[in-house]
Chains A and B, each alone.
Chain A
Amino acid sequence: MPDTPNPILELRGVSKQFELQGQRVEALRDAHLRVHKGEFVCLIGASGCGKSTLLRIVAGFESPTVGEALMWGMPIAGPGPERGMVFQDYGLFPWLTVRGNIAFGPQSRGRPAAEVKDTVERFISLVGLQRFADAYPHQLSGGMKQRVAIARVLANDAEVVLMDEPFGALDAMTRERLQDELLEIWQRTGLTVLFVTHSIEEAIFLADRIVVMSPSPGRIESETAVLLPRPRDVVAADFNDMRGRLSQQLHSHHGRKAA
């Protein structure tokens, strides 16, 4: 990615330490990252290498111990609607229907009722949940819940969508379908996406750029631009080449420390 000015997100030397039973855990060390508007960036790496920590710092749930996290050049002071998070465990409000969950953000921000209603209907059809608009989360399948979680963030005018292994708990078929839909929404709306995954294949399929991280201490190891044309073919030769290279990179530090 060319280093054009004004990244939408920027991490400058971000480190994060946690105190865990008297011990100091270095979850993230000296991370530098620039993400440009409209980019789709995947974070990949062994368990415990700080992917979630990085995402949570960008979301504003955690603040860096050292360094700065910036959005449009301004320090990130806390969570906000311009940075929507899609949790792996969905984080839907169980007492609200699909409609209510999607309306939650716009309502909280004091949008007029008529506008909220319009927005909700628009995003319900965007994620294809018209028939389940009045169902409660416990009545939905995992894939449907994940759609609600995505719609909820998009309906709230998020510029940046942060996704922490959003499809990790889904079966392969549902995952592939949601990947396709996510790409379609991303291309249509010009969102910026920061996406954590364990799957090399998922990363290559989705990303403009893949950030490889390694554990103990968690840090950014390398970045790889994915220049394959879209829609990408997972069985194409160059896709496979890339998978091989990334796999090697990942395993070179897997060997040192058990994941």
Chain B
Amino acid sequence: MSLLLEAGRAAPAAAEPASKPRAGLLARLGNPLLAIIFPLGVLAIWHFFTYGQKYSLIPPPSEVAVALYDLTFGGIFDDAFSRTLHVHLLASLSRVYGGFAIAAAVAIPLGLLIGRVAVVRRVLDPTLQVLRPIPVTAWLPLAMIMFGLGPRSAFFLVCLGAFYPILVNTIFGVRSVDPRLFEAASMLGCQDTAQFYRVVLPASLPAIFTGLRLGLGFAWVVIVVGEMTGVQTGLGAIIMEARQLSRTEIVICGMIVIGIAGFISDRLVMLLGKRLLRWSPNFA
């Protein structure tokens, strides 16, 4: 009897998600509206200062829009840039995700080891801490010597850029597992190695995920730098080339595409996180 009473009393808390859409309707309509005010304003100011100006160095938004169309579908200018966006986008995507995947494949296991095994931590941590403040861009000359001019250097830089956020967050995740959970596991009969799989791994998953998200964001930042020297394809390469030809509208197109691609890829990771980490109040 009493059980039912309490269960009934607590039910609204568990049923909360069901009532959310109704309350959130205004917010759901309002949020995109609010989010669009600022860019529209910027666009207006941009347009106002550049449109019809004879010697403006910055093209007006309408010109950029036309260039973006031509870059994507062609049929307007029929120059070297026309209808090449998919080639560059694919090239950059493959480097970003390839480099990111390798970085994750190394950084996650390494982070778990450093976080969990004191010896590994003592051997590797100081070195990694000293290497960490070196900006990825500072690696560029060395990367070009080691990997030559070209896409392999870009790949390496992306890898490096994504590596540290993933590593640092993984270590943090492992180190900050509530000690109470180890006690709980061991009094339930789960010891040593089993604890690693049944406690450490799941408990540090949210932090690892945060690291992945930051790492992917970094990969997008670094890709442009990586592609700016001696690479034929890629969004960084297109920006560089357009700059040399003073095609500023193409430069801006490249920036916009990177922004959108980075945003979408971040959303995808977030979505995956929400699926996998439903249990975590921070992700659900």
Contacts and interface: CB of A to CB of B under 8 A. Distances in A.
A158 to B, nearest CB: 9
Interface stretch (B61-69, B158-166, B181-189): B181-189
A105 B119 CA distance: 30
For A78, A97, A132, A141, the residue with the greatest tally of chain B CB atoms inside 10 Å of its CB is: A141
Contacts, number: 104
Contact of A177 (B2, B185, B281): B2
Chain B contact patch, size range: 20 to 34
A79 B183 contact: yes
B138 interface: no
Given A91-B181, A132-B14, A144-B6, A105 B186 contact: no
Contact of A138 (B10, B189, B279): B279
A156 B188 contact: yes
Interface residues of A, number: 44
Given A94-B280, A128-B7, A174-B6, A89 B189 contact: no
Interface string B170-185: 0000000010110111
A135 interface: yes
B75 interface: no
B279 A132 contact: no
B202 A95 contact: yes
A245 interface: no
Contacts of A139: 13-14
Given A93-B181, A144-B10, A83 B202 contact: no
A180 interface: yes
Contacts of B7: 128-129, 131-132
Nearest to A96: B279
B164 to A, nearest CB: 26
B279 A141 contact: no
Interface string A22-55: 0000000000000000000000000000000000
Interface centre among A93, A128, A136 (most CB of B within 10 A): A93
Nearest to A93: B181
A239 interface: no
Nearest to A105: B188
A166 interface: no
A139 B11 CA distance: 10
A138 B281 contact: yes
A15 B155 CA distance: 61
B188 A108 contact: yes
Nearest to B278: A136
A109 B284 CA distance: 31
B187 A108 contact: no
Contacts of A108: 185, 188-190, 194, 198
B132 to A, nearest CB: 29
B280 A95 contact: yes
Given A91-B181, A141-B10, A180-B2, A104 B187 contact: no
18 contacts: A79-B183, A83-B187, A87-B180, A87-B184, A89-B180, A93-B181, A93-B184, A93-B203, A104-B185, A104-B188, A108-B185, A109-B189, A128-B4, A131-B11, A136-B278, A139-B14, A140-B10, A177-B2
Interface of A: 59-61, 78-81, 83-85, 87, 89, 91-97, 104-105, 108-109, 127-129, 131-132, 135-141, 143-144, 152-153, 156, 174, 177, 180-181
